[in-house]
Structure 1
């Protein structure tokens, strides 16, 4: 929990400006589970890791032309890869 307090959190409107993506799109990605938000009162907040995920999603959509369903598959595969790498590192 102490680690959470040291992270920088962004309101969705601020994250929108940072990543160049409409707030409604960010909310949609949160709703379908592509990014995780944290609630503080009525505010939905994103940490720096989620900002990086949004940037990756934007690159997949805009630079590579991948549709939303494809982005979901790619992001889930990347999450699984990261998880497997972490497990492998634990065994070393």
Structure 2
């Protein structure tokens, strides 16, 4: 188990503190352990949701179809066809 050295302080209204304390007590947890666990659970949920993009199936199909359509990029085409200053040995 790693040692806990960082601190996180916050201000809270008395009613919220009372509800959080009651919940921690129901689980027989220390208040700081309860708050830490709840905060980490919420952080994991937010981060997991940020890793995924949700959209309707029709929108997804339209997006994938649009990726298959080549764009007109004349400058890119010209650059690819231009004589190269360097070549691989």
What TM-score does the superposition give when structure 2 sets the normalisation length?
0.34
Structure number with greater Rg is 2
Q: Greater RCO between the two (CA within 8 Å, min separation 6)?
A: 1
Structure with the higher strand share, 1 or 2 = 1
